[in-house]
Amino acid sequence: KNEVEQSPQNLTAQEGEFITINCSYSVGISALHWLQQHPGGGIVSLFMLSSGKKKHGRLIATINIQEKHSSLHITASHPRDSAVYICALNYGGSQGNLIFGKGTKLSVKP
Amino acid sequence: DTGVSQNPRHKITKRGQNVTFRCDPISEHNRLYWYRQTLGQGPEFLTYFQNEAQLEKSRLLSDRFSAERPKGSFSTLEIQRTEQGDSAMYLCASSPRLYTGELFFGEGSRLTVL
């Protein structure tokens, strides 16, 4: 069993829709990251969470430590949001050894 | 642009050859990380430096792999005697001296072993 599971694996949405991507994990963590990866490979860090909720523009990330679950929400989605969204965990006090999910591929149609 | 820079962006090599990738982190970021990503998978941790010290290494890093950060600035990742299974994207990331948790990634170096 993977320590981190993302759902859905693939998601197609119409422009303007509200999108939710989920991340569930089974290990104790010190922090959880949401990353965005565009075609070609470049990765951008969106959020790092250890509790509660963070918001940046149209993106909102939440985490429930007790339930070992995090969600990434995108409001008013746009075709430029099309990318792979990856959940990654910091665990065991390790600062570099992230455990990555396989990612959720999001495609937003105009 | 002062982001994380990786070179080369793409390397095609024949099995058995050695390859070296370079990562230039954001200036004054003392933490530097290498990850490997195969097609359709999330990245996997390879190794981590704080300044010039290599503090963590994954078991994925076989004896054919070596990474250095000699002066605590740029880093190199060398793969000796490449195998087809080494074909992947090699990603470098750095984070600031005062660790905020945010990682700044380079564009990656894609390796194709024929």
Which tens digits make up the pLDDT trace of B14-33? Answer: 999 999 999 999 988 889 99
Query: What count of CB pairs under 8 Å joins A to B?
Result: 62
Please say if the pLDDT value at position A94 is more than 70.
Answer: no
Distance from CA of A44 to the nearest CA of B (A): 7
Over residues A16-27, mean pLDDT: 96
**In whole angstroms, how far apart are CA B61 and each of B5, B67, B78?**
22, 9, 11
* Range picked from A15-24, A40-49, A91-100, B51-60 for highest mean pLDDT: A15-24
Mutate to test the interface with B, among A43, A44, A100, A105 (most CBs of B within 10 A): A43
* Inter-chain residue contact A40 with B33, CB threshold 8 Å: no
Nearest residue to A41 (alpha-carbon basis) of B68, B44, B90, B113: B90
Strand partners, A6: A23
pLDDT in tens, A33-66: 999 998 877 899 999 998 999 999 999 999 999 9
Taking phi over 0 as left and psi of -120 to 50 as alpha, with beta for the rest, B45 belongs to beta
**In whole angstroms, how far apart are CA B114 and each of A65, B14, B83, B86, B110?**
45, 5, 8, 10, 13
Distance from CA of A48 to the nearest CA of B (A): 7
Paired sense of beta strands A104-109 and A10-14, if any:
parallel
**Residues from chain A contacting residue B54 (CB–CB below 8 Å):** none
Please say if the pLDDT value at position B1 is more than 60.
Answer: no
Residue whose token pair is 């007790």: A66
| Alpha carbons A85 and A101: distance in angstroms, whole number | 9
* Sign of the torsion formed by the C-alpha atoms of A72, A27, B34 and B28: positive
Residue whose token pair is 């990738």: B21
